[in-house]
Chains A and B, each alone.
Chain A
Amino acid sequence: MSPVEQPKHPSGDNRFKLLDRAITKHQARGDALIEILHVAQGIFGYLENDLLIYVARSLKLPLSRVYGVATFYHFFNLKPKGEHTFVLCMGTACYVKGAEQIQTALEEHYQCRFGDTTKDNSVSFITARCVGSCGLAPVAVLDDAVVGKLTPDESIRRVEQVKLSVPEVVS
């Protein structure tokens, strides 16, 4: 097979080299679009239009298809996220155990609705559909760490803690 020809990104941003590597690994196949968007979001943090255009050209797919896929799946962000993310589980078990109260408390405390980022760009609040740790309900994922058995006050304390990046104390 002849090597896959890659259009170079004009910005010369080195991160595109990483993306190119992933595209080559999948032989620029259109059916690897979701995998490649995962990689792209991993590298750039979110999927801006320019990036989607680049992916579309590399995979020889219409931009509408790439944009359609990127907007269809919840996992892909088209907007930049804050420094920290607080993903509150809204699964049934967490709901029954009071996730809604946590949501209300955080929204009031930070004056920021779930789905948005705080004004100082420090924390993004997101809701999730069950993170599968129902035994510990209510659960949130705070910067990749699962925190369970939360209460409204404890949630605020945890968010403040990561904002200051105080190392976790063993409880």
Chain B
Amino acid sequence: MTLEDLQDLAEQERERQDQKKHRVLFCSAAGCASCGADKVSAALKAKVKEHALDKECEVIGTGCMGLCGEGPLVKVQSDDTMYRNVDVRTAEKIVESHIVNGKKVDAHVCDTNVPFFTSQTRIVLENCGRTNSESIDEYVAAEGYAGLAKALTEMQPADVIEEVRKSGLRGRGGAGYSTGLKWGIVRKAHGEQKYVVCNADEGDPGAFMDRSVLEGDPHRVLEGMAIAGYAVGAQQGYIYCRAEYPLAIERLKLAIKQAEKAGLLGNRILESQFNFRIDIRIGAGAFVCGEETALLASIEGKRGNPRPRPPFPSEKGLWGMPTVINNVETYANVAPIIRKGSDWFAGIGTEKSKGTKVFALAGNIRNTGLIEVPMGIPLRTIIFDIGGGTPDGTEFKAAQTGGPSGGCIPADQLDLPVDYESLMKVGSIMGSGGLIVMDSTSRMVEVAKFFMQFCMDESCGKCIPCRVGTRHIYGLLDKISKKKATQDDMVLLEELCMMVKETSLCGLGQSAPNPVLSTLRFFRHEYEQLLQPVETFEGEPGIVVDFEK
């Protein structure tokens, strides 16, 4: 395929879509699929056929439309009407009434003129809910692979890196390292082979951003990886996807096959000298494999044990070769940056955090789902305007970001702008983007205990601070929650948290105490309420830790 062929393909596909009078889109992402989207799509298709509308109306499965809590969602694209809670009966009515007679099914129409939709800025998710997630043609028609084409035909690899660096894009996996700088290091590093790895091991409980991108717009990730490959001089890419996401794996496999057939992956891409292949590696359920060195070990077919850094993977990564590792969302940002230029991207967000961030809203919040907002937006806007606040009038208590590595942000910090530095200041982290809202029914000691149990179970066991430390912290939290602890245990708890944080080998251990430290900081009274008064204390036998468990 040449550049002209790519442009022709885009043109043809756009014409084909214009010829259709109606495009009925149904959300085929995991959230809607699990509440009956397949039956809805079957009903839509059957009705379209029954009314002999095949020529003018097409029914398409798209990526996540965002409002997962109100699924299954259906959208009639011609007049931008969204329907929520669609069942088979409603699906039939949509075709019979809306498509045939032009009369909307009012009972299920979802108002899209509300902050949930209007306050969002969509870059990563621009195609989710708009295009067929299983069609490369539709991706190309939506300016897909134009970024790769521009990089290959108009830019030198060094220019690509400079463009990404200037855009200010930072790693979306949580740590926030400059993507352009990382690529520059890999480009300069020596090695016969270089690799590009995509971290799709989205292990944080409560996070489903990467899943939605992979399911809804897999080609965007492939394009970003290919651009990275060109920039750093790699010919092989790996996507490490967790086994819990079968649909994402299936869609990725299909997308790779389509791209190879179209000459957009493989040898001599777009008739250039650039060759790039992508393979999928499937994880097997280990949270620690989201850590980059553990992930590389897992791709090599070993236990997912992290190793000390330096050397960083940028210098010695997969099989000892220089390796770029980025998160799904980071790669998904690359193609638009190349296509529209770094100035455009740098114009969104704050001084140090550019662009947008995808968040998965869940927990005690009215609008659960997937949103994408510009960096720097206040947390209050996300939770109360976009998320609609807590349901049933319960009182908002805390927002948890960053999963087991993050912290809880209390109500009085809600005007905090969401960017890497501000979140760090209150003891949380940006993380990959899970945002869980807790209301007054959540007890913070239990929450801290829950996360500590998670880290304890997921610790790989290689280094002692993490393996033993998390277990003892859990033991102390358990003791506190059972009202058996004293003030001495609180001192011990804090000391232990700092020790684990400072001395663990990898990110898992270093950040494992964060949920405890942040709840101690903002909700200390909840801990203290559970303590035994000193005078009635009759001597507990130290920390109770059940090693058999």
Residues of chain A having any CB pair with chain B under 8 Å: 29-35, 37-38, 65, 68-69, 72-76, 90-97, 128-137, 139, 145-148, 170-171
Contacts and interface: CB of A to CB of B under 8 A. Distances in A.
B442 A135 contact: no
B282 to A, nearest CB: 6
Contacts of A135: 31, 68-69, 71, 208, 362, 368-370
A91 B33 CA distance: 19
Contact of A32 (B207, B301, B450): B301
A76 B243 CA distance: 11
Interface stretch (B283-291, B484-492, B527-535): B283-291
A92 B400 contact: yes
A1 B137 CA distance: 38
A96 B396 CA distance: 13
A128 B243 CA distance: 12
A30 B302 CA distance: 9
Contacts of B207: 130, 132, 134
B436 interface: yes
Contacts of B88: 170
B205 A129 contact: yes
Interface residues of B, number: 55
B442 A96 contact: yes
A133 B436 contact: no
Most chain A CB within a 10 A radius of its CB, from B88, B245, B450: B450
Interface in B468-508: none
A101 to B, nearest CB: 12
Contacts of B282: 34-35, 38
B495 to A, nearest CB: 26
A92 B436 CA distance: 7
18 contacts: A32-B301, A73-B285, A90-B205, A91-B206, A93-B436, A128-B244, A130-B205, A130-B206, A132-B202, A132-B244, A132-B245, A133-B68, A134-B207, A134-B360, A135-B68, A136-B368, A139-B34, A170-B36
B284 A76 contact: yes
Nearest to B289: A73
Contact of A34 (B208, B281, B400, B403): B281
B39 A170 contact: yes
B304 A131 contact: no
Contacts of A74: 284-286
Given A92-B400, A132-B202, A137-B362, A69 B301 contact: yes
B96 to A, nearest CB: 18
Contact of A92 (B205, B284, B303): B205
B389 interface: no
Nearest to B437: A96
B31 A38 contact: no
Nearest to B66: A135
A94 B362 CA distance: 9
Interface of B: 30-31, 33-36, 39, 68-69, 71, 87-88, 202-208, 211, 243-245, 281-287, 298-304, 360, 362-364, 368-370, 400, 403, 434, 436, 438, 442, 450-451, 454, 458, 460
B269 to A, nearest CB: 25
A30 B301 contact: yes
Contacts of A31: 299-301
A171 B36 CA distance: 9
Contacts of B71: 135-136
A91 B438 contact: no
A29 B400 CA distance: 42
Contacts of B283: 34, 73, 75
B112 to A, nearest CB: 18
A166 to B, nearest CB: 17
A91 B284 CA distance: 17
Nearest to A37: B284
A9 B460 CA distance: 33
Contact of B203 (A37, A90, A129, A171): A129
B203 A136 contact: no
A49 to B, nearest CB: 18
Contacts of B39: 170
Contact of B34 (A34, A38, A148, A171): A148
A73 to B, nearest CB: 3
A132 B247 CA distance: 12
A132 B364 contact: no
A81 to B, nearest CB: 15
Contacts of A130: 203-208, 244
A145 B454 CA distance: 25
B450 A92 contact: yes
Nearest to A26: B301
Nearest to A129: B205
A86 to B, nearest CB: 15
Contacts of A65: 302
A153 to B, nearest CB: 19
